[in-house]
Structure 1
């Protein structure tokens, strides 16, 4: 999940391991989430909260020739994103900017399209963020938002201990000012922020032993790796004990073994800026 200025605390941190996990996540989800994201060459596109560039490379791959402005609050993340893009897309036209999404230094109607992926879930006031993005989107321009929702998880074998870990993740993000269940709220959020033509589609990832690439890249290396990294936070918050947490993570790993299955739904919204 991408870094961006918010009142909410960005729980995932900025470690090298988290950078790798974000890349694994983006690569495993590219076809599911981005196959229908296409912008015409020459379009002015804003990626809001680009983080380490994990999604940026897929955005550029699907829309060659765009004029991309990638914004994030973290200078370190921007440097990583710049290196990632330079390695894969040396001729891409990308402007990198360190800025708060609520204080973007652009005049109204600057961009033809705005792209936001795994950012709003970390916002304490996502409606305010969307209003700020609407300001810089030209009338009739498009907004694309992608978010997850931990409440959509269906895992087998079913485990109360694993379910408790997922619940702790939701509570930790809420305590930090974010919302790990935000995906289900995209339609009312975008409508309340003044966007029109809002359309939301669920994008469900399902992994079992017949899809070993997804088991490795998403179930194990993305979701379980992310969940496991919150052990200290969950214990410090008094949500659980070390033994209970460890049991839950062990049970989650059963979903990534022979006979196990894991399902997670993302939500992709598209909308249009007001005509005037």
Structure 2
């Protein structure tokens, strides 16, 4: 991955920052983009990387980001949209504003990334989007986020078909519950944390580095024959039903 340039939207989040550090450690140039300019500059200084402060729900701003990235750093080899939000509420308790927020943060930002990449990566490359295990498994109280993230997976499939002749690959990483700033409302509650641990067959919650490693793989040349796929990085939640653990009878 040496010298490759990758655009990372949502660079200051738990997964985004882990990905940027991973890319930089592998010799790539991550171009950092996020809303919080203070955190963005701090990470950019750490990695000696270029950065752009923007709102990824703004299609024009995302388009400008990609065009400037090409102008200032040469061809973009890959892009990852790590922007997202998290809501645990049943549909009947979710407001119009909350639902719209889930769609804008998760699906609109993904669409903006796809469109900008298609316009600014004419020689091919890799785009990775983030979905969620909630789009693959029916989990209670996840209606809004499941709808948004299922849209992300469908978006990637269609884009992979549209741009395959140009060598532009689109794939999705679908995490389980990952311990980040965004999920603190769940992970800091002992009751909710235990319930979440019980759902994941591998017996632990995800770390940002777990997801960053999968994204970095899909961005890199070793994944050059992979497109239109959703990779579950979820501790087995989407596919496994382990035996029930029964306590010993005295």
Taking structure 2 as the reference length, the TM-score comes to: 0.51
Partner secondary structure for residue 50 of structure 2: strand
Q: Cα distance 1:193–1:136, how it changes in 2: closer, same or farther (>3 A)? A: same
1:83-232 correspondence to structure 2 within 5 Å: 86=46, 89=47, 92=48, 94-101=49-56, 102=59, 103=61, 104-105=64-65, 106=67, 110=71, 111-119=75-83, 122-124=106-108, 126-137=110-121, 139-151=122-134, 166-168=139-141, 170-173=142-145, 178-179=148-149, 182-183=152-153, 185-192=155-162, 196-197=166-167, 221=179, 226=184, 228=186
Matched, 1:73 2:35: yes
- Aligned partners of 2:174 and 2:68: how far apart in 1? 37
Matched, 1:51 2:12: yes
- Contact 1:72–1:78 at 8 Å: present in 2 too? yes
Deviation at 1:75, TM superposition (A): 1.4
Q: How big is each residue's C-alpha offset from its partner over 1:100-130, in whole Å with a ceiling of 9 and x where there is no partner? A: 4422253695433132043377133633431
- Aligned partners of 2:21 and 2:116: how far apart in 1? 24
* Among 251, 267, 271, the residue aligned to 2:195: 251
- Aligned partners of 1:142 and 1:171: how far apart in 2? 33
Unmatched 5+ stretches in structure 2 = 85-104, 226-250
Question: Higher helix proportion, which one?
Answer: 2
Aligned pairs, number? 182
* RMSD, matched Cα: 4.7
- Aligned partners of 1:261 and 1:82: how far apart in 2? 34
Unmatched 5+ stretches in structure 1 = 1-37, 155-162, 206-217, 232-245
Higher relative contact order (CA 8 A, sep 6+): 1
Question: Higher strand proportion, which one?
Answer: 1
Taking structure 1 as the reference length, the TM-score comes to: 0.47
- Aligned partners of 2:177 and 2:131: how far apart in 1? 14
